[in-house]
């Protein structure tokens, strides 16, 4: 990988990068297996008594659980950030849209030398490391942590530290870090009316399929894979449950054909639910799972954790239940993947110490406990947050997720940082299979070829 020796991206590099980014949009983030962290010592860092007033600019996507929650935190002065740091002024500069709009804008600021102090990123398969190493947009956080006495290991699961680090330097800090699609939401009210048993946490996929046949009645489907439909990322815990690891440890070789038997079984299970008409089929048009679930046309859907908070307040005409996603065999270890949104401090920041103070606050315990209690943001990979009973009083379902977070597994790596491109190539094959254009057996071969073609390319 070539390194740019300046903190300013060249115009040629900027045009090349933004051209590649416009091909698609990133969805979420990655992190490796986590272990329980020591007791946290997190608190907003107080500024020095003689500190000069400073304004820090924070670039973020315009999003309820990112920019909107940060602004609410400032307005509420959660954990006394403003009271403790009266000389730090925060300017939130938001960009509407998603990564197709956000990423080129940030890189254009970097190319023009007008970048602010902190930036947001939703990495996938360690794609954010390219921004640190290849483009030199963000700086190593460890010197700032050391000078301020901030203990990373005491505040975050080790997995969240590892995935945001590269060659002994840590470039990003977790803001949202959650298990990918770990639960199924279901309509308790309608199931009771139908006289159909509710799902349970210890179900196997075979039991789910049998239940779905009974629960599909009239024009109501029993189940939809919903949020796990994007198989190379949100569907990775599902694949792992069947024994499939998409890419090798070095991130250079696709492994779909290596796990051919397991992969065919996983794909066939999903397709059979569609062809047996217990799940909606994309052959009849695009599937809007929240609309179908909220309209009580689908009884159970796989979901991201944030929907645990949102669905009950959005769809208020029925009672919701939540169960862990099934396993293949009774007693199997439950598999997982850590999804992240992160923030980093730019190399161009003129106030990195103040920026670090702000960063440790938005990633701190109280900001993240309050985010869950108030229902505005997904969880974070901090043991102290998951140990706080306040989040379970508000959302009891999160108690089911704590053991998953305590043993959270890494997202797989894509060594050339083309994670989005890899995912889109592989998922196109999965979509073709669900449209019944290719068989599960053919899909495995095609996923292998499509994925490997991307992995063989030069670094992004």
Regarding whether 213 and 354 lie in a shared domain, the answer is: no
- Beta-strand ranges (E) seen in 154-212 are 165-166, 169-170, 173-179, 183-187
Question: Is 2 a residue whose pLDDT tops 50?
Answer: no
Residue ranges making up the domain that contains 322: 183-335+414-455
How many CB atoms are closer than 10 A to CB 114? 10
Asked if 170 and 196 sit in the same domain, the reply is no
- DSSP letter at 58 equals E
Residue 20 has pLDDT above 50, yes or no: no
Asked if residue 460 belongs to a domain, the reply is no
How far is 453 from 46, CA to CA, in rounded Å? 50
Q: Is residue 125 a part of any domain in this protein?
A: yes
Q: What's residue 26's pLDDT?
A: 33
Strand 54-61 and strand 118-121: the pairing is: parallel
Do 299 and 209 sit in the same domain of this protein? yes
Same domain as 356, residue 308: no
Q: Are 77 and 169 part of one and the same domain?
A: yes
- Structural domain includes residue 99: yes
Residue 32 has pLDDT above 50, yes or no: no
**Residues 75 and 129 placed together within one structural domain of the fold:** yes
Task: Give mean pLDDT, residues 268-282.
Answer: 97
Among the listed residues 271, 236, 192, 245, the one whose alpha carbon sits nearest the alpha carbon of residue 30:
236
Q: pLDDT band at 33, cuts 50/70/90?
A: very low
The more confident residue out of 326 and 131 is 326
Q: Does 74 share its domain with 109?
A: yes
Phi, psi of 231 (to 5 degrees): -65, -35
- How confident is the model at residue 256, as a pLDDT? 98
- Confidence band of 8 (pLDDT split at 50, 70, 90): very low
Residue 128 DSSP class: H
What residues are paired with 334 via a beta bridge?
A: none
Q: Give a yes or no: residue 166 inside a domain.
A: yes
End-to-end CA distance of the chain: 9
Tally of CB atoms within 10 A around 399:
12
E strands in 234-388: 298-303, 320-324, 338-345
pLDDT at 349: 97
Q: Quote the number of domains for the chain.
A: 2
Task: Tell me what pLDDT residue 243 has.
Answer: 98
Asked if residue 173 and residue 210 are part of one domain, the reply reads: no
Domain match, 162 and 264 both? no
Give the C-alpha separation, 45 to 62, whole Å. Answer: 26
Q: What is the mean pLDDT of the chain?
A: 90
Over residues 110-134, the mean pLDDT reads: 93
Q: Provide the pLDDT confidence category of residue 448 given band limits of 50, 70 and 90.
A: very high
Longest dimension (CA), the chain: 71
Reported as a pLDDT band with limits 50, 70 and 90, residue 411 is confident
Task: Tell me: pLDDT of 204 over 60.
Answer: yes
For residue 309, the domain's CATH number is: 3.40.190.10
With respect to residue 104, please indicate whether it lies within any of the assigned structural domains. yes
Give yes or no for residue 122 having a pLDDT over 80: yes
Instruction: Supply φ then ψ for residue 409, to 5 degrees.
Output: -100, 155
CA distance 21 to 460: 10
Inside any domain, residue 4: no
Residue 133: the pLDDT is 85
Q: Is 87 exposed, middle or buried (0-12, 13-18, 19+ CB in 10 A)?
A: middle
Say which range, 13-22, 164-173, 378-387, 443-452, has the weakest mean pLDDT: 13-22
Same domain, 249 and 195: yes
Q: Do 224 and 306 share a domain, yes or no?
A: yes
Q: Distance between CA atoms of 221 and 228, rounded to whole angstroms?
A: 17
Q: Are 272 and 210 in contact, with CB atoms under 8 Å apart?
A: no
C-alpha angle 377-379-380 in degrees, rounded to nearest 5: 120
**151-161 burial code (b ≥16 CB/10 A, e <16):** ebeebbbbbbb
203 & 250 share domain: yes
User: Would 62 be classed as within a structural domain?
Assistant: yes
| Structural domain includes residue 291 | yes
């Amino acid at each position: 990988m070539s390194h740019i020796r300046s903190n300013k991206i060249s115009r040629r590099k900027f045009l090349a990068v933004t051209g590649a980014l416009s091909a698609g949009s990133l969805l979420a983030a990655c992190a490796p297996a986590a272990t329980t962290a020591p007791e946290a010592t997190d608190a907003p860092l107080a500024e020095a008594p003689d500190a000069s007033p400073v304004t820090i600019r924070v670039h973020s996507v315009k999003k309820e659980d990112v920019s909107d929650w940060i602004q609410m935190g400032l307005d509420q002065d959660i954990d006394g950030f403003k009271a403790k740091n009266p000389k730090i002024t925060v300017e939130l500069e938001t960009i509407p849209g998603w990564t197709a709009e956000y990423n080129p804008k940030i890189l254009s600021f970097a190319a023009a030398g007008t970048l602010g102090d902190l930036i947001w990123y939703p990495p996938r398969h360690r794609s954010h490391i390219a921004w640190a190493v290849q483009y030199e947009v963000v700086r190593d956080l460890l010197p700032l942590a050391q000078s301020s006495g901030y203990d990373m290991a005491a505040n975050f699961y080790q997995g969240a530290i590892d995935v945001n680090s590269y060659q002994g330097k840590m470039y990003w800090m977790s803001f949202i870090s959650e298990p990918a699609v770990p639960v199924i939401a279901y309509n308790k009210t309608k199931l009771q009316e139908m006289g159909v048993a509710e799902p349970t946490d210890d179900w196997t996929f075979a039991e789910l399929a049998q239940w779905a046949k009974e629960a599909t009645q009239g024009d109501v489907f029993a189940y939809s894979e919903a949020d796990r439909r994007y198989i190379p990322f949100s569907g990775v815990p599902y694949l792992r449950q069947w024994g499939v690891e998409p890419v090798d440890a070095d991130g250079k070789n696709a492994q779909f054909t290596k796990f051919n038997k397991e992969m065919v079984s996983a794909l066939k299970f999903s397709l059979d639910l569609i062809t047996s008409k217990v799940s909606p089929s994309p052959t009849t048009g695009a599937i809007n799972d929240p609309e179908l679930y909220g309209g009580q046309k689908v009884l159970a859907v796989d979901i991201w954790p944030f929907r645990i908070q949102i669905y009950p307040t959005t769809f208020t005409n029925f009672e919701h239940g939540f169960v862990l996603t099934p396993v293949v065999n009774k007693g199997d270890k439950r598999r997982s993947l850590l999804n992240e949104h992160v923030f980093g401090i730019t190399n161009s920041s003129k106030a990195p110490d103040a920026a670090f103070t702000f960063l440790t606050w938005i990633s701190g315990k109280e900001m993240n406990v309050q985010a869950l209690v108030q229902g505005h943001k997904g969880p974070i990979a901090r043991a102290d947050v998951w140990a706080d009973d306040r989040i379970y009083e508000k959302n009891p379902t999160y108690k089911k997720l704590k053991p998953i977070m305590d043993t959270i597994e890494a997202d797989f790596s894509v060594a050339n940082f083309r994670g989005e491109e890899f995912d889109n190539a592989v998922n196109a094959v999965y979509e073709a299979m669900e449209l019944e254009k290719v068989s599960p057996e053919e899909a495995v071969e095609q996923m292998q070829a499509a994925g490997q073609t991307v992995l063989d390319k030069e670094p992004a």
